[in-house]
Structure 1
Amino acid sequence: MKNQLHLQHDWGPVAGELVEIRHGGQAVRAGIVDGVTADGGILWLAAQGAEPRSMFERSQGFSVWIEYRWESAAAQ
């Protein structure tokens, strides 16, 4: 994730996307979203290398940041 990241308010559309999870403004983990609850309150990042599948809850203060595809395409 090299380009500018944007806060994603609606977690539903990020299923299958590469995102960065932040808590208190600090990056916690980056990865592919493996699943999102129907209400968009919880998401899971897929296991990657030594990192297990992980759950993040909006109510716990986590936020999702994503690179917009049209920005990364324009940079190429």
Structure 2
Amino acid sequence: MNAVTAHAVAGSFPIGHRTFTPQPTQAFRVDDWFRLPTATVEIRRNGTYVRTGRVEEATPDSRMLWLSPEGVDSRILIDKLDGYEVWIDPEQHYYYIQQHR
């Protein structure tokens, strides 16, 4: 059987011919960190992904927050003055906006 008549099997097509293309999810930057305890967030610094984690606690002035330890990642203090940003997915964004109106 030659390559033209061969049946497709999983993984036999070059990457460029596969139909599945992951779509990046839209995320929202949150500046009011005090609203986020229990939220799962994405941390970025200078536009670069750092880590995903669950917010354990945040200061009332939204300057710092603690991410809970998960897996191999330890508990970490994130300080806004160090250039960190917090991003959440659209579903959580809606929830936290409704909770703090």
The answer to whether TM tops 0.5 is yes
Q: Percent identity?
A: 33
* Residues in 2 aligned to 1:5 and 1:61: alpha-carbon distance in whole angstroms: 18
Letter in 2 for 1:55: L
Distance in 2 (CA, whole Å) between partners of 1:44 and 1:18 is 12
Contact 2:31 2:62 in 1 (8 A): no
Distance 1:60 1:70 in 2: 25
Match of 1:61? 83
More strand by percentage: 1
Aligned to 1:36: 58
Matches of 1:44 and 1:70, distance apart in 2: 18
SS of the residue aligned with 2:56?
Answer: strand
Give the TM-score normalised by structure 2.
Answer: 0.65
Match of 1:6 in 2: 28
Q: Which structure's relative contact order is higher, taking Cα pairs within 8 Å and 6+ residues apart? A: 1
Alignment pair present for 1:27 and 2:27: no
Shift of 1:70: 6.8
In structure 2, distance between residues paired with 1:23 and 1:35: 19
CA distance in 1, matches of 2:41, 2:61: 18
Report Cα offsets for 1:5-38 as digits up to 9, x if no partner.
1110111111110000000100100010011011
Extract structure 1 runs of 4+ deviating beyond 6 A: none
Is the 8 Å Cα contact of residues 39 and 92 (structure 2) preserved in structure 1? Answer: no
- In the alignment, the residues of structure 2 paired with residue 70 and residue 40 of structure 1 have an alpha-carbon distance, to the nearest angstrom, of 18
